[in-house]
Amino acid sequence: MPELPEVEVTRRGVAPHIEGRVVQAVVMRREGLRWPFPPGLSGLLVGQRITHTDRRGKYLLIHFGHGALIIHLGMSGHLRVLPPGVEPRKHDHFDLVVDGADGQQVLRLHDPRRFGAVLWHDQQEGELGNHLLLRGLGVEPLGEGFSGALLYLQTRKRSAPIKQVLLAGDIVVGVGNIYACESLFQARINPKTPAARISRARYERLAQAIKEILAAAIVQGGSTLKDFIAVNGQSGYFQQSYFVYDRAGVPCRNCGAPIRQIKQGQRSTFYCIQCQR
């Protein structure tokens, strides 16, 4: 599943091609994805100018003067920017056609498993941050509001393992499975440790590790395990830098001990039995 770095890579890729441009057409090749496409979406968007793009957690936000599109890539989705006239492939479900000084461009959503989403939030409904999908999200890990002190204060009554607390997204958003495993390894914290038992000093290390891991992943184009590709069709290569994720049984790059794989909340967790005591 695309995580925060992959969504941010996507946002940075599409922004120069759509920001400031006027929507010429909206093409929907089915009734919806995980949820139905918003009724009357073409009427809402055609003739309207895209003011800017943004990201909240794993949601890509395309802003207009009267509201915003909320796009989620689901488990297998990706966006491409294409010239007009490119025939849609199977699973190309949604197009946003925009016009600019250099002609039309097509923002196309490809989603084989159809767990993604294209939703609309109207400005008349209030602040975008109060949208049902966004209101419960924690702070952005790359923003100024995220710190070890925040993690420490918010986990004093959390008995769940720290890996599960990170994935929950209500304290810090967007730290998905891959990057939680890698960050906990860099901070030398066992993923099974109850969140309330971790000291403030160790949380400071963890917060710094999360920031560094996510920033490095964005620079490297995210991770490409199966489905994700960037807007330009290229694969990310952060997976070449993994220390623990998807390396079960392989010697640790630091100490040589075998990387262990366990299940936590139906998700695979990878960690070093020596470095993460």
In 3-state terms, what secondary structure has residue 81?
strand
Catalytic residue selected from 3, 6, 8, 182: 3
Q: Is 34 a catalytic residue?
A: no
How far out from the chain centre does Cα 43 lie? 29
Instruction: Please check the confidence at residue 161 and state whether its pLDDT lies above 70.
Output: yes
Catalytic (active site) residue 263: no
> Is the pLDDT reported for residue 238 higher than 70?
no
> Which one of 11, 58, 80, 158 is the catalytic residue?
58
Q: What is the pLDDT of residue 233?
A: 53
For the stretch 24-37, pLDDT in tens is 999 999 999 999 99
What's the pLDDT at 234? Answer: 55
Reply yes or no on whether the pLDDT at 21 is more than 60: yes
Whether 26 contacts 42, CB under 8 Å: yes
Spot the catalytic one: 34, 113, 253, 267. Answer: 267
- Mean pLDDT across 72-85: 92
This prediction's pTM: 0.89
* Choice among 2, 38, 141, 191 that is catalytic: 2
47: burial class by Cβ within 10 Å (0-12, 13-18, 19+)?
Answer: exposed
What single string gives the DSSP state of each residue in 2-27? --HHHHHHHHHHHHHHHTTPEEEEEE
The neighbour count for residue 59, using CB atoms within 10 Å, is 24
- Mean pLDDT for the stretch of residues 87-116: 93
pLDDT tens track for 169-222: 999 999 999 999 999 999 999 999 999 999 999 999 999 999 999 999 998 876
Would you say residue 225 has pLDDT above 60? Answer: no
The pLDDT mean for the chain works out to: 92
Question: Does the pLDDT at position 228 exceed 50?
Answer: no
Known active-site residue 88 = no
CA distance 236 to 221: 4
Q: What is the pLDDT of residue 101?
A: 72
Give catalytic status of residue 38 as yes or no. no
Is the pLDDT score of 44 beyond 80?
yes
- Stretch 114-125: mean pLDDT: 96
